[in-house]
Structure 1
Amino acid sequence: MDRIVSAEQHTVEQRLVDNVVASFDACEDPRLKELMTSLVTHLHSFIRETRLTEAEWGSAIEFLTAAGHITDDVRQEFILLSDTLGASMQTINVNNQAVQSATEATVFGPFFVEDSPEIEIGGDMAFGAPGEPCWVEGTVTDTDGKPLSGALIEVWEADEHGLYDVQYDATKRAARAHLHSSPDGRYAFWGLTPTPYPIPHDGPVGKMLEAVGRSPLRASHLHFMVTHPNCRTLVTHIFPEGDEIGEKDAVFGVKPSLIKEFARQPATSPSPDGRLLESTWSQVRFDIVLAHTTM
């Protein structure tokens, strides 16, 4: 495709960019001015570089309109779009730079709720959700290796059908809970062995993924959010080793440091807490390291 642009045409296009950028000169908020100026500059560069057609522009407006129409109190299609374009993950990378041995962050996801039930160390967060039982244990420390007592650990995941509790019923609570680390920083609980599942793909984002030949599947994962005074809040997942989706994760959330061995155990084999299981189960260790907020 011939994209040679004459000097005269380049001048016309650049004059518009300059005029739009200048329109923010009176903005009194320097950060807002920086964001708007950069947005306009990059947006116009995209339009000019690709020689965007008016029909393509119209399709983009229709796509965004459809995303707005399908968004409600439960579903946020624009976050889904951000996730599938890697924008969410890149924002997390920018705002959670690696600090010494601190555990890496990844995407938050749309299914966190604040009123999860509390469990004791060794408790069961499945609350009857279907799936293979999984024993999860580890420690919470800071980057100096000091155990963190009383860290709030919030965990949530999909069941074996690939659905979160709130997708069945907004008031349902299963496969999610919170607990606190012990004085020596230890934690443990029963959950479910993670399984892959598709992000909502019956809307415009799903049509976009289909059009470009991408899968809507997320790699199997278990969500964590860990908080402790004077430490940076950690939002992360852990992913089973050998997962069939792996780094083809639809929202680009997989990081090598977060891939863990979920060791499958035979039925009736002794569990760490003496629980007798008639089915297979798995166990995984995840040691969490929090960065101090002063770093």
Structure 2
Amino acid sequence: MGRFLLFLVVLTSSIFAQKKVEDIRILNLLPYFVQPPLVDPCLPLDFSLGKDKKDPYFSNGYFWGTQGSTSDYFKDPSCLKGCLIRAQVSKTVKQIGYDRFSNDGNTQDLSAAGFTEIKVSKGRWGIFPYRELLAKGPKGRHYYQMWVGLNTEEGATLYFQFLYPEYLNEPTQTQKSIWANFVKKTNLLGVNDLLVARGVDLTPNFIQEKKLIEKVGLKVEKRKGDQKLFIHMGSIQKFSVLNIEQINLLNSPCLGQCIVEIDALIALNESEPSRKTFRVPYEVVESFTFKADMLNTSRFYETSKYLLFY
């Protein structure tokens, strides 16, 4: 896992900011949570974690909302005038596959209990799959909830409920948009935040590798038809591939990227060749990219595994 996290450094073109773990919002919203989904929750800026003095370890769940709304709810749920999102580990629904849940296709119990207008939608927050369930209760009240798979061996899911004033049968349009944005616009953390959340130290060595990749314009494509790699970059004095290793990280619990590790001898300008290791993501394509400078066939070198252009 540690090695994989180092690979992530090269996946972004932005300059790494000096962030700290306490700056990662999802970690602040889910304290004491062993394996939180590393996502950037799309919530209003004034939403924070409510803290109930009677429940210091959040055994009743995590309540997110404005300070006024969480305070009102903890005093008396019937006093809630705004809206909240409640998060807790589900006791009934499991993730049983990469994008499968134990409650898939099972709405008969809700129908039998008098619920109508039942709507189930599916999606993903990056690599974290979810199921959203909307329904109208027998007394006319609308319910909003969802389950997010955490990609654990145990099949744990995080269960979310949307809470709004008891005197309403459905949320206001503003409140509905808060829930809709949370469901549809939450996404995986950016690379920098992922590294910080996992406790990776962004040392100068890793940043230097990233800058070198940018300097030589190194890009990699993989042709779908024959699985051949195309390694192309700007004009440099020497680039000799010593070894290539493809690393399939689609099932990784962190990001889900395909990485190629290239061990090569490289020389820039008039410098002596030196051995470098590059770790870059590759894109799967139907056909390789073509540019005008590729008309110079002397810049190509081909083997059975890869086509090199430099």
TM-score tier (shorter): under 0.3
Pair member with larger Rg: 2
Give the structure with the higher percent strand.
Answer: 2
Q: Between the two structures, name the one with larger relative contact order (CA 8 Å, sep ≥ 6).
A: 1
Q: Normalising by the residue count of structure 2, what TM-score does the alignment of the two structures yield? A: 0.26
Q: Normalising by the residue count of structure 1, what TM-score does the alignment of the two structures yield? A: 0.26
Give the structure with the higher percent helix.
Answer: 1
